[in-house]
Copies of this chain bind each other. A is one copy, B any other.
């Protein structure tokens, strides 16, 4: 799914680099299946009720969009599972800016905001990245800021 090469170490990330990591597509069946399991609000699971809602039709759960975005991202620039990947302590600024509807195809972009070697742990550091999903008209649909701890090259 990802157009990016694998990045295993803190040194593999460059501040300011921005790349397309892949695309995510949403079918009505998948939107309903995810929402039944995790977010069964009527405008996520019932096309008829959704038509009467303020959204005017079925929309994806924000957690569905975020989970699909993260799958693309973890195959790319955060190199999840790569040799130097340690863990993510958390995310900031989750934003759902526009509804996602059946048939939508979104581009996922990754921008590296900072790469900071740890002052206290010489073998590792923190990267902060901004992840966005963008629709066919170029509008940002959702975004989130992610932090990941990585080992530095040459560490065990």
Contact = CB atoms under 8 A, between A and B. Distances in A.
A95 B86 contact: no
B81 A89 contact: no
- Determine chain A's interface SS by DSSP, over half rule: mixed
23 contacts: A37-B67, A37-B71, A38-B67, A38-B68, A38-B70, A39-B67, A39-B71, A40-B71, A41-B74, A41-B80, A41-B81, A43-B81, A54-B87, A63-B70, A87-B96, A88-B96, A89-B95, A90-B93, A90-B95, A90-B96, A92-B92, A92-B94, A94-B94
Number of copies: 2
Contacts of A114: none
A23 interface: no
A144 B149 CA distance: 20
A87 B92 CA distance: 19
Interface in A31-82: 37-43, 54, 62-63, 66-68, 70-71, 74, 80-81
Interface string A106-121: 0000000000000000
Interface residues of A, number: 29
Interface of A: 37-43, 54, 62-63, 66-68, 70-71, 74, 80-81, 86-96
